[in-house]
Chain A
Amino acid sequence: AQKVTQAQTEISVVEKEDVTLDCVYETRDTTYYLFWYKQPPSGELVFLIRRNSFDEQNEISGRYSWNFQKSTSSFNFTITASQVVDSAVYFCALRGQLGDNDMRFGAGTRLTVKP
């Protein structure tokens, strides 16, 4: 069974603080993909990153960084120097091997960044 857990339901920070959103996953597949999506108040889902299970290199994109650790089945997302525009619900998702059409989403973490 595949499962994604985002234990933090809501996080509130003050602008310029760093914040880490946790994501823990379960899968029996040896090949899988992990994703993060952002859902701002306007409601659309914005793709942020995809990671495959063979690439554990951490990634940085501007103020965003991702820490993928297979040993702990985690794929955490850090926003450095948060801004008000970062306020959104963030979803972590898992998809198994090619042909597995069911992308499993976590319940989401609502991030509020206050000025």
Chain B
Amino acid sequence: NAGVMQNPRHLVRRRGQEARLRCSPMKGHSHVYWYRQLPEEGLKFMVYLQKENIIDESGMPKERFSAEFPKEGPSILRIQQVVRGDSAAYFCASSPEREGLLNIQYFGAGTRLSVL
């Protein structure tokens, strides 16, 4: 059973470009979460999605950031017009649908975004 897959592992963008980060949840998981980890800091929640729905985006910056989890395919975190402050590690986590296990989030290896 493959774990949570994130790609790319490393992404370099120049200021003003767009960054697309992909996350394929574990098999059988329909809940996806995105977190951001700034250097030397803990993880900060960004957004929680279920298939085709954004459930909670309270941690997402209001501008330039968007997320989706389509019916088919991976979840995508998109950052438009990146700035240097967006440089961070972005982690995706997934959890299964079954209620008893809802609270265990399994994390991917992260995508490290560097903005030049």
A102 pairs with B109, CB closer than 8 A: no
Q: A44-B110, A45-B91 are in contact. Are A101 and B104 (CB under 8 A)?
A: no
Q: A45-B107, A47-B104, A91-B43 are in contact. Are A103 and B99 (CB under 8 A)?
A: no
**Interface magnitude class on chain A:** 20 to 34
Interface residues of A in 6-60 (CB under 8 A from B): 6, 33, 35, 37, 42-47, 50
CB neighbours of A101 from chain B (8 A)? 33, 45, 48, 55-56
**How many Å lie between the Cα of A89 and that of B27 in the bound state?**
27
B33 pairs with A37, CB closer than 8 A: no
CB neighbours of A4 from chain B (8 A)? 42
Is B76 an interface position by the 8 A CB rule? Answer: no
Q: How far is the CB of A96 from chain B (nearest CB, A)?
A: 10
Q: A43-B89, A98-B103 are in contact. Are A91 and B56 (CB under 8 A)?
A: no
Number of A-B contacts (CB under 8 A): 56
From the candidates B41, B45, B99, B109, name the one contacting A42 in the complex (CB within 8 A): B109
A102 pairs with B59, CB closer than 8 A: yes
> Would you give 25 A-B contacts (Cβ < 8 Å), ordered by A?
A6-B42, A33-B103, A37-B107, A43-B109, A43-B112, A44-B110, A45-B43, A45-B91, A45-B107, A46-B107, A47-B105, A47-B107, A93-B43, A95-B103, A98-B102, A101-B33, A101-B55, A101-B56, A102-B58, A103-B45, A105-B35, A105-B43, A105-B44, A107-B42, A108-B41
List residues of chain B with CB under 8 Å of any chain A CB.
33, 35, 41-45, 48, 55-56, 58-59, 89, 91, 93, 99, 102-110, 112
